Amino acid sequence: MYIKFCRSFGEDKKDEAGENLSSKLSVELQEEKGKQTVGNVRLYRAACFFLTAICLVLLVAILVLSMKFQAVSTACSEREETTPADRHGPSPTCSYDDCQALFPNTQSEHVGCQQCAKGWLKFSRSCFYLSTFRLSWDEGQRNCSSRGGSLAVITSHSLQSFLTKKGKLKYWIGLRQNGGTWTWVNNNALQHSYWEEPPENGDCGIINSDSPPETSWMRASCQASTYFICQLQL
Ligand SMILES: *[C@@H]1O[C@H](CO)[C@@H](O)[C@H](O)[C@H]1NC(C)=O
């Protein structure tokens, strides 16, 4: 800008001194340009070198990772072929043992290596199945145990709100009254409860997705027919 201004200023004046100044300036300008080009070439070279180095590092990383994943999937598919395991249980594609052998550092977090079967929801160390058909409490419990689990046992507030929110209907849970005391299907005593107010009658427990998680449990006759939630521990 400054140089342009000087040049036009010189032309405008049209005197000798002005013309001298103008030619001198154009020489300086060219030198400047030359210097700039050399600078640019250096910059481009550095950038090129830098980008090539990054490419090489990434290439090595991709190779290492792909080899690792190949090892895992081979181990898992071998296992799948040899043991056509229970389809409803934890995914047969990768057992804890395989996982531990491949990733010894992840010992304490082996949950990350186990999955729930298709159609089951994972929460904490369990898989949950929300039925799409209705049965009585006993039939529901039988159906769950033939899938390798039981009706759901709700032992934490976070699980209670998870199951209330995931469902859309009324589901049997593994809670039943016997001689005035409520017990879970695993024979544990009921600790914290989430009964609706006022409570209905009946000896079996239902979780109702229409209610807030704090008060979503209903009582019903165990012979009634409703949906149910199965739980399978990993
Ligand atoms: C659960 O019950 C349904 C309906 O009666 C039946 O079709 C299904 O096979 C049962 N599942 C198991 C694993 O028993």
What's the pLDDT band for 103 if we cut at 50, 70, 90?
low
Measuring CA to CA, how many Å separate 230 from each of 5, 34, 144, 150, 170?
Answer: 83, 78, 5, 5, 13
What's the pLDDT band for 11 if we cut at 50, 70, 90?
very low
Q: Quote the ligand 1 centre to 143 CA distance (angstroms).
A: 6
Counting from 1 in the atom list of ligand 1, the atom nearest the Cα of 142 is 14
Q: Quote the ligand 1 centre to 229 CA distance (angstroms).
A: 13
Predicted confidence (pLDDT) per residue in 48-63, tens digit: 999 999 989 999 999 9
Q: What is the pLDDT of residue 36?
A: 72
Domain boundaries, the chain: 126-233
Atom 3 in ligand 1: which residue has the minimum CA distance?
143
What's the pLDDT band for 114 if we cut at 50, 70, 90?
confident
pTM: 0.56
Substitution candidate for ligand 1 out of 146, 147, 172 with most atoms within 8 A of CB: 146
Q: What is the pLDDT of residue 219?
A: 95
Mean pLDDT of the chain: 79
Q: Quote the ligand 1 centre to 110 CA distance (angstroms).
A: 30
Residues 178, 45: Cα–Cα separation, whole Å: 82
**Does ligand 1 come within 6 angstroms of the Cβ of 87?**
no
Pick the CATH number of 126-233 from 3.50.50.60, 3.40.190.10, 3.10.100.10, 3.40.50.720: 3.10.100.10
204-208 and 126-130 beta bridge pairing:
unpaired
Contact 193, 160 (CB under 8 A): no
Predicted confidence (pLDDT) per residue in 121-179, tens digit: 999 999 999 999 999 999 999 999 999 999 999 999 999 999 999 999 999 999 999 88
- Written in H, E and C, the secondary structure of 33-75 is HHHHHHHHHHHHHHHHHHHHHHHHHHHHHHHHHHHHHHHHHHH
Q: Is 42's pLDDT higher than 60?
A: yes
